[in-house]
Structure 1
Amino acid sequence: MRDANVIIVGGGVMGCGIALRLRQAGARVTVLERSIPGAEASSAAGGILAPQMESEGPGPFLELCLRSRALYPDFAAELHALTGVNVDYLPSGLLHLAFDEAGAQRLKATVDWQRALDLRAELLGPAEVHALEPQLSPQVVAAARFPDDHQVDNRLLTRALTMAAARVGATFRTGYVRGVVEEHGRVVGVDLDGETLRADAVVIAAGSWSGLVQGVSVDPRVVRPARGQMVQLQTRLPLFSHVLFSDKGYVIPRADGRVIAGSTLEFAGFEKNVTAEGLHRILALAMELCPALASAPVQETWAGLRPYTEDHLPILGAGPLPGLFLATGHFRNGILLAPITARLMAQAVLGESTSVDLAPFRFDRFPRR
């Protein structure tokens, strides 16, 4: 299968990452995108690489996220070598802040189970927190520090992955995929604006739109759009160095003084509006974490649609028909999971044993509606 002809529907970080790995393995690859590659969730994210902070507990998903995080230093270096684009991978560490005793106890429980797994995590008291980050709110009573949770500039990553896939020989085409083409119970290509493009395998990596591709047989309610609104502020000098998180949201410090603040979680269909309520919530959260941000100019606002599943796990691997593969539903971990998803999906498409068991992420784990 290494000389297979593969079509990938979706040109975000997932589609381009998979295209890169398939081309490097010898496959012929065409990436289909209805607009500009990476224009949707990939460019609208924050770029936090935080499997420990995001984790709800031990299990296959945490292991998948940790494996992907471990790939990032070499992944960033590879993309720089291929394209000359520095994706600003930054080992900044992350602080999850608590503002009351109940929150501090929840952080302690998280730190305890993670340390039991030999993951680096520590609970800091208020004096330790403010010694580390003096500009934080004086109302902070505790913080969990995850030194191995990092960040990347997701817009630069998206650009680099698109360039890298093209550099190794992937073909990009713009158009609307009406559906997959099935013959004798097998997917053999796609309908692109009325033109049939044939392939040995089709990978659906269309984010929130994956379930809308006709013939994929994934209920659109299984993978649905979750709107997240974001704000970019600008400071003259960075006010803090860690990614800051609370139960209400986060702020991400870029090395050049930009601060990315987010995010809302809204089920508003495919509307990408930025709303007054959303901006109010995000700016209030940012100033609660770091009061000095109150004087920072607002540079940009935007909203993106993240592919949401009810169990917050992605859908990875073979689809409901031979020749069809799915890589979607990454929700807010898409940037984090890009390197491991690219590797695993290339292995699956080429008929190889995947280096991670994909059974927990199968498309058919959801009950039929």
Structure 2
Amino acid sequence: MNSSQDILIIGGGIIGLSLAVELKLRGASVAVLTTNSKQPTARAAAGMLAPQAERIPPSPMLDLCLQSRALYAGWVERLEEITGLKTGYWRSGILAPVCQNEFQEQQSVSNLNSQWLDRDAVRQQQLGLGEEVIGGWWYPDDAQVDNRALFRTLQAATKELQIEIVQDCAEKIIRDENRVLGVETTAGKLQADRYVLATGAWSEQLLNVPVFPRKGQMLSVCVPENCGIIQPLQTVLFGTGIYIVPRQDGRIIIGATSENVDFTSGNTAAGIQSLLAGAMQLYPELQNYPILELWWGFRPATTDELPILGASAWENLTLATGHYRNGILLAPVTAKLLADLIWNQKLDPLLAAFHYSRFPEHWGFKNGD
């Protein structure tokens, strides 16, 4: 096996496919090495685009997230035009209810569009909130996308754009001094001029990077047919340790646990019970909704909970990993900034905050040289 592509992207998740599409649209020849044998990180998400509801403090991370949120509408519109598919992008806004006995923080980013709603106003914003809700923050600019629909759309875009998809498992990155020479797979060796590591929670298996899995359990329910309305919940509810994300087709996504259990698979009774308890406190009507599905996935976390983006210690290897809770949100800005860097040799100053050198003790290849 071989490849003569300009760029080989190792990893076919949301980040890898987003970058592949962006590079292809700029004229690059691109291959994506991916495998279906691993639980996709995209499943451990609800598709919230929530830099404000997440209360990210003023920082380069907030700047990165806000830039990506601003790109989203145009980005998904282009994907939908390429494929004819829908991504479920919905500028629904996000409501962060505050319950009794919860510490009420002041607005963390005062210059952004937000509003404090008291007990009466928060119930006018969303009917059916629990009795313990005493108010809430309303973030009208935060939004959501159906992460599974987005992933399917990205897969379809790679087909439409004739991006080469190699279904195989990367076993080793081959290098000589400061350059990568190829990627050893179960079926042979792949080569390209440049490489991108975008393997999410599995990145540490190929490169000694401080990226580790953080498991998230989730479930979905659906609005009963006798409810009289397809979706009574018209905004995302973002609580303490819980979020409730309505879809326009009547599904409601509830998530997510955050567990340091390596790659331990499966849902647990305790995990699902905690999610249901938190969700029903915010929106009690959920107790009457039938459960549709339970699932889990693995977020790619780093020790400082920031992504690792941009150049690496090897001149032809670029890093796009460690997005943790914000992989869906950061897909368009990651694709834009890294395509600028790889294809146009344009380095955005914002990438400095996410450079690999902030982890000097963690660099080297796995599985030998």
Is residue 232 of structure 1 aligned with residue 220 of structure 2? yes
Aligned twin of 1:5: 6
Aligned twin of 1:114: 109
Aligned twin of 2:176: 183
Q: Deviations over 1:70-129 (max 9, x none)?
A: 11111111111000111111010011111125533x1xx1x2x422x3x10111100001
Aligned twin of 1:279: 272
Aligned twin of 2:307: 314
Decide which moves more: 66-75 or 355-364: 355-364
C-alpha distance in 2, partners of 1:253/1:330? Answer: 23
1:188–1:202 contact (8 Å) kept in structure 2: no
Look up the SS of the partner of 2:56 in the other structure.
Answer: coil
In structure 2, list runs of 5 or more residues that go unmatched. Answer: 225-229, 363-369
Aligned twin of 1:15: 16
Look up the SS of the partner of 2:361 in the other structure.
Answer: coil
Aligned twin of 1:151: 144
- Give 1:40 deviation, angstroms: 0.5
- The residue type paired with residue 109 of structure 2 is Q
Q: 1:350 aligns with which of 343, 346, 350?
A: 343
C-alpha distance in 1, partners of 2:349/2:90? Answer: 26
1:41–1:306 contact (8 Å) kept in structure 2: yes
Look up the SS of the partner of 2:252 in the other structure.
Answer: strand
Q: Deviations over 1:312-346 (max 9, x none)?
A: 11000011211111101001100000000111111
2:221–2:252 contact (8 Å) kept in structure 1: yes
Q: 1:147-226 maps to which residues of 2 (within 5 A)?
A: 147-193=140-186, 195-213=188-206, 216-218=207-209, 222-226=210-214
Is residue 251 of structure 1 aligned with residue 244 of structure 2? yes
1:217–1:320 contact (8 Å) kept in structure 2: no
Question: Percent identity at matched positions?
Answer: 38
C-alpha distance in 2, partners of 1:356/1:76? Answer: 25
Aligned twin of 2:100: 100
Decide which moves more: 162-171 or 296-305: 162-171
Aligned twin of 1:86: 86
Are residues 149 and 133 of structure 1, via their aligned partners in 2, closer, same or farther at CA, if it must alter by over 3 Å? Answer: same
C-alpha distance in 2, partners of 1:133/1:184? Answer: 59
Is residue 360 of structure 1 aligned with residue 353 of structure 2? yes
Q: 1:269 aligns with which of 242, 258, 262?
A: 262
- Give 1:287 deviation, angstroms: 0.6
Aligned twin of 1:341: 334
C-alpha distance in 1, partners of 2:87/2:56? Answer: 28
C-alpha distance in 2, partners of 1:180/1:199? Answer: 12
How many pairs align?
Answer: 354
TM-score w.r.t. the length of structure 2 is: 0.92
- The residue type paired with residue 242 of structure 1 is T
- The residue type paired with residue 59 of structure 2 is G
C-alpha distance in 2, partners of 1:233/1:260? Answer: 7
- Give 1:25 deviation, angstroms: 1.5
Look up the SS of the partner of 2:203 in the other structure.
Answer: helix
1:98–1:141 contact (8 Å) kept in structure 2: yes
Is residue 59 of structure 1 aligned with residue 78 of structure 2? no
2:72–2:332 contact (8 Å) kept in structure 1: yes
Q: Deviations over 1:255-303 (max 9, x none)?
A: 1111000110001111221000000001111111100100100000000
1:33–1:175 contact (8 Å) kept in structure 2: yes
Q: Deviations over 1:118-165 (max 9, x none)?
A: x10111100001111121112101101100010000000001111112
- The residue type paired with residue 248 of structure 2 is A
C-alpha distance in 2, partners of 1:346/1:55? Answer: 28
- Give 1:353 deviation, angstroms: 1.3
Are residues 319 and 367 of structure 1, via their aligned partners in 2, closer, same or farther at CA, if it must alter by over 3 Å? Answer: closer
Aligned twin of 1:137: 130
In structure 1, list runs of 5 or more residues that go unmatched. Answer: none
Aligned twin of 1:70: 70
2:64–2:350 contact (8 Å) kept in structure 1: no
Decide which moves more: 310-319 or 177-186: 177-186
Moved over 3 A (4+): none
C-alpha distance in 2, partners of 1:141/1:33? Answer: 47
C-alpha distance in 2, partners of 1:250/1:229? Answer: 12
C-alpha distance in 2, partners of 1:357/1:60? Answer: 7
Q: Deviations over 1:185-212 (max 9, x none)?
A: 3112211115121111110100000111
Decide which moves more: 95-104 or 76-85: 95-104
Are residues 39 and 79 of structure 1, via their aligned partners in 2, closer, same or farther at CA, if it must alter by over 3 Å? Answer: farther
